[in-house]
Structure 1
């Protein structure tokens, strides 16, 4: 990197790198602000813009986690192939009917082309977020959550999970054999997964596309 970073900018860069390695997902401005004791996310935004000007990161307008490290491959991402140099065509999944596969034809609203560089790993589909249970992670009602299909996830990752007849987006918390699905909004309660519950992981979140402007 040609331009020297300030100590604070290097701290923020380290936080971004660490969060991508830990969850596969860049932090939000609010998460960076909390980590460094800033009073508002605007202070984090100012530092991010400075990092972008210095060529350390790239910022994507309209994506709450639209931060990409420059000159480093995304964590766990496969090497780019010629097909990834073009836009990805991803289905948008709306409401999921009880007991039906997420990618069943009746759930797909349409397909859209997106830039692969927006995501930490290549997603399989975009899930339209319902409700505000993940508000404090920067995931809002109506946003499109980029999801990579997998039945395995690490502790702390944001996941799409099926419990009973419901499909939900939450942060995964594993302690021994106990699994909890944690909201990112104090108005919502954690979901404790019991041994007898019909529970499965449908995928992990690898990015976000904001569909409405932040106020």
Structure 2
């Protein structure tokens, strides 16, 4: 890997921290805002340079299609772990994940109930920060400023606990919603990423609330 500039190391650290804290790499706009760039195009230029130097991989067609390579560099480097010898990997087509696509969810029934599954997608696991269990079709624009739009396919990993700042899928009453998780004391808030929407407050004794999963990636149909 070629030596990185100080700015490139800064962006690489920002990407790593975003993935560790939220499960998502940042969007170009988020990188630009964090580092004071005038436009997302400046962030894109730095990302392309990082990709050419082998620090990251960029996946076209996804709003957060940034993947860290195994090796770090400079201050962002991490200790290398010894690995056992491996046999040759199978053909890439055999390594794809088969994920159910969940559409509208009926009230009171499991999110992965057969009647909710619209189809199955075969996808490259390298697109995601962690291995997802299913895809959820996003409804509405409450997470617009996080780069999650109506009609997107959100990759979701099943969990039973979340950290503050993570983007999660939650069941609340008759609805399944995508929001940013925030817990203060015993009170949980589900925060939108669009000023046109209000936060949802979950009371400690609210029985109709449940975490359904953690967002670990996003697919978008550009047609």
| Structure 1 partner of 2:133 | 124
Runs of 4+ aligned structure 1 residues displaced above 2 Å come to: 81-85
> For residues 105-184 of structure 1, what are the structure 2 equivalents within 5 Å?
105-184=114-193
Aligned residue pair count: 206
Contact 2:55/2:71 (<8 A) preserved: no
Structure 1: 5+ residue stretches without partners:
74-78
Alignment pair present for 1:205 and 2:215? yes
State the TM-score, normalized to the length of structure 2.
Answer: 0.87
| Structure 1 partner of 2:45 | 46
Tell me how far apart the structure 2 counterparts of residues 155 and 195 of structure 1 sit (CA, whole Å): 16
Largest Rg, 1 or 2: 2
Displacement of 1:123 in angstroms is 0.4
State the TM-score, normalized to the length of structure 1.
Answer: 0.91
Tell me how far apart the structure 2 counterparts of residues 40 and 105 of structure 1 sit (CA, whole Å): 44
Instruction: Name the Cα RMSD after superposition.
Output: 1.9
Q: Deviations over 1:164-206 (max 9, x none)?
A: 1110000001111111000011111110112342211000001
Structure 2: 5+ residue stretches without partners:
73-82
Displacement of 1:9 in angstroms is 0.9
Tell me how far apart the structure 1 counterparts of residues 135 and 222 of structure 2 sit (CA, whole Å): 15
Alignment pair present for 1:6 and 2:16? no
Contact 1:63/1:209 (<8 A) preserved: yes
- Secondary structure of the residue that 1:184 maps to in structure 2? coil
Tell me how far apart the structure 2 counterparts of residues 187 and 142 of structure 1 sit (CA, whole Å): 18
| Structure 1 partner of 2:24 | 25
Contact 1:160/1:204 (<8 A) preserved: yes
